[in-house]
Amino acid sequence: MNTNSNSYTIIYASVMVIIVAFLLAFVSSSLKSTQDKNVQLDTKKQILAALNIKNVEDADAEYQKYVKGDMLMNVDGTLTENTGEFATNYEKEAKEQQRLHVFVCEVDGQTKYVVPVYGAGLWGAIWGYVALNEDKDTVYGTYFSHASETPGLGAEIATEMFQQEFVGKKTLENGSVALGVVKHGKVEKADYQVDGISGGTITSVGVDAMLKTCLNSYLSFLTK
């Protein structure tokens, strides 16, 4: 074949495009598997953090040790085992498939329940997990994170100092979700409310709305 002809150039270019496309697809597929695994590990670490189990080296092993069941809440508040894959986008599952996860855990011989929460802060998404004691009414621990809140202000929701303020708080008052965050210095119901972040009012409001909206979805379970 004449390597200087137009047909050779076209064929050569087409073959190269196909080869490069195949290689890119292969690399993308390989990376996605690793990325998905990393997201799963990070999700497990966040669930463990809500149980006050932090800085773990082997998230899979610690998760298996403390989390006894990944359950789905039924309409009547009962729980059914999740037989599907380990999920990481709980907001999407709740909105598109009406799947509400409850992680049944055991810490020091005591049952704990962990539920995911998600919402919006000032600049983007916020999310986290709330761990409850066996009574389903007392907070055992929390974990919160964010996509892009302001450092030193709204981003403080990701600090242990803020998260520890929830420990021991009650979730329900007269059958309604009362756990939440109020404007800094305006706590009136100390059993249920946490002081908002000074200078992070909108993010604090977002956390409050997130807790009330998401926990309200679990009301039939919490009151059962």
Phi-psi region of 216 (alpha: psi -120 to 50; beta: other; left: phi over 0): alpha
Instruction: Write the pLDDT tens digit of every residue in 32-55.
Output: 778 889 999 999 999 999 999 999
Instruction: Write the pLDDT tens digit of every residue in 167-177.
Output: 999 999 999 99
- Domain residue ranges in the chain: 68-222
What confidence score (pLDDT) does residue 131 get?
99
C-alpha to C-alpha distance for 149 and 158, rounded to whole angstroms: 10
Instruction: Write the pLDDT tens digit of every residue in 89-107.
Output: 999 999 999 999 999 999 9
Whether residue 6 has pLDDT greater than 70 = no
Q: How many CB atoms lie within 10 A of CB 126?
A: 26
SS3 67: strand
Mean pLDDT value across the chain: 92
